[in-house]
Structure 1
Amino acid sequence: MKSIPALRLLSLLGFLLLVAPFYDQCNGHGMKKSEPATESPIPDTTAVETPLVKNNAPVLVAKEPIINKDSIAVIKKNEIPFYVKAYEFIDDDNNENAFELANMSRVYFEGSFAEFKEELIKDFKKHKYDGLSLFIRSFSFVFIVLMSFSILILSLLKKVKWVYKLSIANLSLIVITLICILFFDSLFETYKQIKLGYYAFTLVQIGIYYTSKLQNASPKS
């Protein structure tokens, strides 16, 4: 039973890696265009001398600084909290993690099956398979997320046999998603689009597979 702690650690690591960057859908083309830096408005401290009339003689009022409250609000708004910066470092807007890739499947519930079928037929006539690839990939990630969570729970319950079976299923789905990306995704241009999280998650799943396999093969005391 010595491999149980290692199996639990790998299962926890595999689940946590789901938030790591997996894939850049557009090879940087989906990145938001950086808006030109605009100078922060400088508070207007000048005031116009407004003449007053007193006893038919003009009287000048002393200048008073006018502070633009909107400029102060803009400066405060541009201050980004630390936890937001930390999350953006792990998963920025340009890269998608496993949860975001799985979340793409919800678009298929918003339309009808007839519309989906029609779009696929149009793509096939053009020898394009992006629609089918996205469908298979997104739902594969739905099951990867669900099974990774199940592996974590089952490892805590010492259900090693089920962990072994689910690790095989997870590895199979990872291979399927890679095939969809490498061969059927027209937006795939370079291996740099596949991010570190993809490789790390795959290695952890291989570790879970071998650890659970050895545990099942070892004689029970």
Structure 2
Amino acid sequence: MKSIRTLRLLSLLGFLLLMAPFYDQCNGHGMKKAEAPTKELMVDTTAIESLTVKNNNSIERNPIAKDSIVDLKTIETPLYVKAYEFIDVESNQNAFELANMSSIYFEGSFAEFKEELSKDFKKHKYDGLSLFIRSFSFVFIMFITFSILILSFTKRIKWVYKLSIANLSLILITLICILFFDDLFETYKQIKWGYYAFTLVQLGIFYTSKYQITSSKS
């Protein structure tokens, strides 16, 4: 019974981790630093005067707010927004954003895609094919992860086991594409914590479902 609850918890965690940062396509500098609170602006209005033009074209000076100070405070960023900006970086991409890259392949024709690949192959470049495989792999990872979440609340544990193997295989494929065929990959720091956490959770789902299948047979 405990293994079932653990499996369901891991399935839910795996689905939520799809929104975590997976990859930094642009080799950014990691997490943003929270901006320092803005300082108060003190404006002295004792020297402010208004000018009035009379009918005879003479100018009369009218002092305004003598010996008074206006305290202007800029609106500070809420704490929860600072916390989100500290974690989230625009260059970081989660699983949904990596999967969304597949949409670009529906904008053109297959002939254009084939022509672009042939040009890359002549230059011994494989990043176009790598992006194609990686983006569609994440599309399948999203659907499989959601299916695992649903199936974990049923008695079809064997399907959860099989789908966890499929997810781990797809994760391995995406990592190979990033490490060996992505021209923008420069350092391991581009692979963010979401990638590692999601992989560990999928391993947990694999072993938990396997244990559940084995225990049910005995």
TM superposition score normalised by structure 2: 0.81
What is the rounded CA distance, in whole Å, between the counterparts of 1:96 and 1:169 in structure 2?
A: 22
Q: What is the rounded CA distance, in whole Å, between the counterparts of 1:131 and 1:124 in structure 2?
A: 9
1:165 aligns with 2:162: yes
The question of 1:118 aligning with 2:118 is answered no
Equivalent residue of 1:124, what SS? helix
Which residue in 2 is equivalent to 1:156? 153
Secondary structure, counterpart of 1:107 in structure 2? helix
List runs of 5+ in structure 1 lacking aligned partners.
33-38, 66-71
2:82 matches 1:85: yes
Alpha-carbon deviation of 1:40?
10
The count of residues paired between Structure 1 and Structure 2 equals: 205
Deviation, 1:190, is 1.2
**For residues 113 and 41 of structure 1, do their structure 2 counterparts lie closer, same or farther at Cα, with a shift above 3 Å needed?**
farther
- 1:49: how far off? 4.5
Instruction: Give 2:105's aligned amino acid.
Output: Y
Q: Is the 8 A contact 2:134 2:174 kept in 1?
A: yes
Deviation (angstroms), 1:195 = 1.0
Choose the corresponding residue for 2:200, options 198, 203, 221: 203
* Preserved contact between residue 4 and residue 158 of structure 1 (Cα < 8 Å): no
- Higher strand proportion: 2
Task: Decide whether aligned partners of structure 1 residues 128 and 44 sit closer, same or farther in structure 2, where only a CA change above 3 A counts.
Answer: farther
Checking the alignment, whether the CA contact within 8 Å between 2:49 and 2:61 is kept in structure 1 is no
In 1, Cα distance between the equivalents of 2:132 and 2:113? 10
**Match status 1:60 vs 2:28:** no
- Between the aligned partners of 1:214 and 1:171, the Cα distance in structure 2 is 17
| Structure 2 residue runs without a partner (length 5+) | 33-38, 66-71
Q: Which amino acid aligns with 1:121?
A: S
Q: How far is 1:57 from its partner?
A: 9.1
What residue identity is the alignment partner of 2:26?
C
Distance in 1, Cα, partners of 2:110 & 2:129:
13
Change beyond 3 A, Cα 1:112–1:82: farther
Check whether the contact 1:161–1:216 (CA below 8 A) recurs between aligned residues: yes
Q: Deviations over 1:116-162 (max 9, x none)?
A: 11111111010000100000000000111111111111111232111
Q: Distance in 1 between matches of 2:117 and 2:42?
A: 55
Partner of 2:131: 134
Residue 26 of structure 2 is matched in structure 1 by 26
Report the CA distance shift for 1:89/1:16 in structure 2 as closer, same or farther (over 3 A): farther
Rounded Cα–Cα distance in structure 1 between residues aligned with 2:50 and 2:85? 49
Between the aligned partners of 1:218 and 1:165, the Cα distance in structure 2 is 17
Distance 1:133 1:62, change over 3 A: same
SS at 1:60's partner residue? Answer: strand
Q: Deviations over 1:1-27 (max 9, x none)?
A: 331001011111111111111111121
